[in-house]
């Protein structure tokens, strides 16, 4: 695959040779060659993938301009994550976090600090402030960004407790790992999803019973004074557009 620096397309040449069918008297083989031109790509990054996609387009803008058409971030801790910051607040908590990460991914003892914690450290508020102070955001004229973020309040979510922690300690709505206010990339367009979705649902949608969903919707209507889910979405979208 080659990328032309001044072109908005990626040129790929592929040769395909189907398997040949042979008989006693003859064998036949065919080859097919084709060129495929693909339009500029859109980078879609979930969680830290969104952070990395934005960093790549900001740091390597001359190389990627015309190749990357835009960026979509989903539940991306662009400004940092309260979970990362609080887990690494003290050496004791940092050691505990390393042990938990080792258990989750099946790593050997000691690998958590060397292999896993660096990614977590990158997402503390202090680390993100330091990085953003010396690096620019993606240029929205060259790389338009759409940020998508959600929140969870459902007790059926595995991330219900950290989401409740964020609300109680910081007054922040979150998907359990990333606060809404930390998931918006400056200069981009933001999609603020008002339905129930935790941080893992984009990658691993959870199954909940119909009764559980209905109970959650009823609690939403109670919190919003009887406004239904679809009406609440329209109301919030109008409110957001009117203040943007």
Q: H/E element holding 148?
A: strand 145-151
Phi and psi at 13, nearest 5°, equal -115, 125
Residue 34 covered by a domain: no
Residue 20 covered by a domain: no
Phi and psi at 149, nearest 5°, equal -140, 160
pLDDT value of residue 30: 38
Residues 77-136: tens digit of each pLDDT: 999 999 999 988 888 888 888 887 778 777 788 777 777 678 888 999 999 999 999 999
Asked whether the whole model's pTM tops 0.75, one would answer: no
Local confidence band at 21 (pLDDT 50, 70, 90 cut-offs): very low
Q: How far, in whole angstroms, is CA 115 from its chain's centroid? A: 21
Between CA 240 and CA 152 the distance in angstroms is 20
Local confidence band at 39 (pLDDT 50, 70, 90 cut-offs): low
CATH of the domain at 99: 3.40.50.1820
**Residue numbers of the domain that contains 183:** 44-243
Of the candidates 243, 201, 78, which has an alpha carbon nearest to the alpha carbon of residue 145? 78
Residue 38 covered by a domain: no
User: Are 138 and 54 spatial neighbours (Cβ–Cβ below 8 Å)?
Assistant: yes
Between CA 210 and CA 171 the distance in angstroms is 30
What is the chain's mean pLDDT, rounded? 76
Q: DSSP of 13-77, one letter per residue?
A: EEEE-PPPEE-SS-EE---EEEEEEEPPEEEEEETHHHHHHHHHHHHTHHHHBTTEEEEEEES--
> Would you state the structure tokens that stand for residue 42, as one six-digit string?
């859109």
Residues above pLDDT 70, as percent of the chain: 68
pLDDT at 137 over 90: yes
User: Are 152 and 176 spatial neighbours (Cβ–Cβ below 8 Å)?
Assistant: yes
Residues 144-188: tens digit of each pLDDT: 999 999 999 988 888 999 999 999 999 999 999 999 999 999 999
pLDDT at 37 over 50: no
Residue 109 covered by a domain: yes
Residue 117 covered by a domain: yes
User: Are 191 and 148 spatial neighbours (Cβ–Cβ below 8 Å)?
Assistant: yes
* Count of domains observed in the chain: 1
**In this structure, how many other beta carbons lie within 10 angstroms of the beta carbon of residue 157?**
21
Residues 213-236: tens digit of each pLDDT: 677 667 766 765 655 544 444 444
Tell me how far CA of residue 243 lies from CA of 137, 239, 240, in angstroms. Answer: 23, 6, 5
Residues 6+ apart with CB under 8 A from 20: 27, 28, 29, 30
pLDDT value of residue 32: 40
pLDDT value of residue 75: 95
Residues 6+ apart with CB under 8 A from 229: 194, 195, 217, 220, 221
Residues 180-196: tens digit of each pLDDT: 999 999 999 999 988 88
Task: Name the DSSP letter for residue 181.
Answer: G
Residue 29 covered by a domain: no
């Amino acid at each position: 695959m080659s990328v032309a620096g001044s072109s908005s397309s990626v040129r790929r040449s592929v040769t395909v040779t189907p398997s040949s069918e042979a008989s006693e008297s003859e064998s036949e083989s065919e080859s097919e060659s084709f060129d495929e031109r693909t339009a500029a790509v859109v980078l879609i990054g979930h969680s830290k993938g969104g952070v990395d996609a934005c960093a790549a387009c900001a740091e390597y803008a001359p190389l990627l301009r015309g190749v990357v058409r835009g960026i979509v971030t989903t539940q991306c801790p662009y400004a940092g994550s309260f979970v990362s910051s609080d887990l690494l607040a003290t050496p004791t908590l940092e050691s505990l976090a390393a042990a938990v990460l080792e258990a989750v991914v099946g790593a050997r003892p000691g690998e958590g600090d060397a292999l896993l914690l660096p990614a977590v450290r990158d997402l503390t508020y202090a680390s993100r402030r330091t990085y953003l102070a010396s690096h620019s955001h993606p240029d929205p004229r060259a790389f338009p960004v759409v940020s998508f973020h959600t929140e969870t309040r459902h007790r059926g979510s595995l991330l219900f407790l950290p989401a409740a922690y964020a609300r109680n300690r910081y007054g922040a709505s979150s998907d359990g790992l990333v606060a809404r206010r930390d998931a918006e990339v400056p200069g981009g367009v933001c999609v603020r999803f008002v339905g129930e979705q935790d941080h893992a649902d984009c990658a691993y949608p959870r199954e909940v019973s119909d009764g559980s969903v209905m109970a959650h919707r009823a609690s939403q209507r109670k919190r919003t004074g009887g406004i239904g889910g679809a009406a609440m979405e329209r109301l919030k979208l109008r409110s957001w557009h009117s203040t943007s």
